[in-house]
């Protein structure tokens, strides 16, 4: 960090000696000039930024004490080093009391002056680092509060009034995000690039695939530097990135509105070949595209007929039309949801309940941020529906065979696992199919068969109840009675008496 220094002494030789005999540039000190008294020094400071002032005490018109008071009042960030003769020492002590950093006695020891200026430079740099860190924290918190619409609990709006910057917003998104399986966008990876270009920045990660950079400067970030920066970012991401860049602004309270403006533009062009958008270009009007109900009906018919090639052709033709019409990703997403809903409407009410559809209202267009991504999602969902229709058609004979197996073996201790294995399907899939086809779960169906057989035996034979229980597959008498009562409403004995009376 280069600091600017002013030398003030009424003896020109001393000024020239301090300016020219010490290699200040080696310490990154730029001597902006000299003045023969305090009044001239203040005139220079009015037009030239100064960080350090080395001043003599005794000078005409305005001495070092008066100059120090004026500097402390009007330029409080400037550090003052005073040079005094022995007889002026009381002046130096007075200067220290009013806020002068340090003093040296004449004749000035060059090494001592060099060390003192070096120490002062370090102090200034550390103070500025701390202040910059504090300002960045306030800025960062204010940015988050504005962009995420958080309550201003810490009165950041008031604190930000004291910070005056020219700024731009830069939104960054990776293209084709879901296919690349990339890590989330991280500000840390880009900050080094910003620092190399001497661009002050703060990053806010709005989304795993959207980073907002707040670029700021006291004077402004000019178009030439922005062009260099965008070129570096595009190179860093191998061109696979979309950017939205704002004009230069000064009013921090516009941040939320400005972000929405940029995000709207980025959303409009998301999935297209356009990679850089700005806030000063007008958006084209959105093309209207009505739902094609005939195509939806054709698609549903192809699904239920298990015509895979027809499904693929319909989807391919639809997406060609979407691109021809320059639909936005949001429009394409709505069209895809309409198609899925149309197929569901033509099915039995609960037919596709078991499918975990990938396309939904919550499908994130920052993740699936390309036309191909949405086409892949739609095709994946339609394939799931095709497979489900195929399983449903095949399931009828499986369940019929399973029912025959149960009716043949109900007297045995048969479990759902055994029946599923006998038909080469998983127990979970068997349970789902069985419930779908019969309206009952496996144990309910098995109990129904056993209890109906028990009712026949109770009515038509004189076998004892416990014998009947064992015959229909219940090894425990009490459990049989409990199940019988649950299904029939009365005990087996009561049932037998009732039907004996009827006979």
pLDDT digits (tens, 9 = 90+) for 165-217: 899 999 999 998 987 566 778 888 888 888 888 889 999 999 999 999 999 98
Cα gap 449→413, rounded to integer Å: 13
Closest CA to 454 of 464, 443, 442: 464
Residues 6 or more apart whose Cβ sits within 8 Å of residue 91: 57, 58, 63, 64, 65, 84
Residue 173: in which H helix or E strand, if any?
A: strand 166-174
Radius of gyration, CA atoms only, the chain: 42
Closest CA to 169 of 241, 256, 235: 256
Pairing relation of β-strands 166-174 and 210-217?
antiparallel
The whole-model pTM stands at 0.68
- Which has more pLDDT, 167 or 388? 167
Cα gap 256→267, rounded to integer Å: 16
Residues 6 or more apart whose Cβ sits within 8 Å of residue 389: 303, 304, 306
Q: What is the pLDDT of residue 337?
A: 96
- Pair of tokens at residue 253: 């309270």
- DSSP string for 214-252: EEEESS---HHHHHHHHHHHHHHTTT-EEEEE---B--G
Contact 369, 173 (CB under 8 A): yes
β-partners of residue 216 are 167, 200
pLDDT digits (tens, 9 = 90+) for 232-241: 999 999 999 9
Closest CA to 44 of 35, 53, 36: 35
Cα gap 150→1, rounded to integer Å: 36
pLDDT digits (tens, 9 = 90+) for 33-47: 999 999 999 999 999
Contact 340, 357 (CB under 8 A): yes
What superfamily in CATH does domain 394-502 come from? Homeodomain-like (1.10.10.60)
Residue 92 has pLDDT above 70, yes or no: no
Q: What is the pLDDT of residue 403?
A: 86
- Which has more pLDDT, 288 or 394? 288
Would you state the CATH architecture of domain 164-278? 2-Layer Sandwich (3.30)
Q: Is 207 helix (H, G, I), strand (E, B) or coil?
A: strand
Domain ranges, ordered by start, for the chain: 3-124, 164-278, 394-502
What superfamily in CATH does domain 3-124 come from? Response regulator (3.40.50.2300)
Q: What is the pLDDT of residue 106?
A: 83
- Pair of tokens at residue 70: 């004026």
List the strands of the sheet with 29-35, edge to edge: 29-35, 3-8, 52-56, 79-84, 102-105
pLDDT digits (tens, 9 = 90+) for 327-359: 999 999 999 999 999 988 877 556 788 889 999
pLDDT band at 254 (very low <50, low <70, confident <90, very high): confident
- Pair of tokens at residue 156: 């950041």
């Amino acid at each position: 960090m280069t600091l600017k220094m002013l030398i003030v002494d009424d003896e020109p030789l001393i000024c020239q000696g301090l300016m020219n005999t010490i290699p200040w540039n080696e310490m990154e000190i730029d001597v902006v000039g000299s003045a023969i008294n305090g009044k001239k020094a203040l005139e220079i400071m009015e037009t030239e930024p100064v960080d350090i002032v080395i001043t003599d005490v005794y000078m005409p018109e305005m001495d070092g004490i008066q100059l120090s008071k004026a500097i402390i009042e009007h330029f409080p960030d400037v550090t003052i080093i005073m040079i005094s003769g022995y007889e002026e020492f009381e002046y130096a002590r007075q200067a220290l009391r009013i806020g002068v950093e340090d003093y040296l006695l004449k004749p000035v020891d060059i090494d001592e002056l060099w060390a003192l200026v070096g120490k002062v430079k370090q102090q200034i740099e550390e103070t500025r680092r701390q202040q910059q860190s504090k300002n960045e924290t306030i800025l960062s918190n204010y940015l988050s509060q504005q962009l995420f619409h958080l309550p201003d609990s810490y009165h950041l709006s008031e604190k930000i009034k004291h910070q005056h910057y020219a700024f731009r917003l830069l939104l960054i998104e990776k293209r084709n995000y879901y296919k690349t399986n990339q890590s989330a966008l991280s500000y840390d990876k880009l900050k080094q690039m910003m620092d190399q270009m001497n661009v002050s920045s703060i990053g806010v990660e709005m989304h795993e695939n959207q980073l907002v950079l707040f670029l700021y400067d006291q004077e402004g970030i000019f178009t030439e530097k922005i062009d260099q920066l965008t070129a570096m970012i595009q190179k860093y991401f191998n061109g696979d990135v979309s950017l939205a860049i704002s004009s230069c602004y000064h009013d921090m309270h516009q941040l939320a509105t400005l972000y929405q403006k940029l995000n709207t533009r980025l959303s409009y062009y998301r999935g297209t070949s356009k990679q850089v958008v700005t806030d000063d270009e007008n958006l084209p009007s959105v093309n209207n595209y009505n739902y094609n109900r005939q195509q939806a009906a054709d698609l549903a018919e192809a699904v239920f007929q298990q015509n895979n090639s027809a499904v693929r052709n319909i989807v391919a033709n639809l997406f060609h039309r979407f691109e021809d019409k320059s639909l936005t990703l949001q429009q394409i997403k709505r069209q895809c949801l309409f198609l899925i809903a149309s197929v569901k409407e033509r099915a039995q009410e609960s037919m596709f309940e078991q499918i975990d559809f990938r396309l939904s209202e919550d499908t994130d267009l920052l993740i699936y941020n390309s036309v191909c991504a949405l086409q892949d999602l739609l095709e994946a969902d339609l394939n799931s529906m095709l497979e489900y229709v195929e399983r449903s058609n095949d399931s009828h004979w499986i369940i019929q065979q399973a029912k025959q197996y149960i009716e043949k073996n109900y007297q045995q201790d048969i479990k759902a696992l055994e029946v599923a294995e006998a038909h080469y399907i998983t127990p979970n899939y068997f349970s789902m199919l069985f419930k779908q086809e019969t309206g009952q779960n496996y144990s309910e169906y098995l109990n129904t068969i056993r209890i109906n057989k028990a009712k026949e035996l109770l009515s038509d034979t004189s076998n004892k109840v416990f014998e009947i229980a064992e015959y229909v597959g219940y090894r425990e008498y009490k459990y049989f009675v409990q199940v019988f009562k649950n299904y029939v409403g009365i005990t087996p004995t009561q049932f037998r008496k009732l039907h004996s009376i009827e006979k």
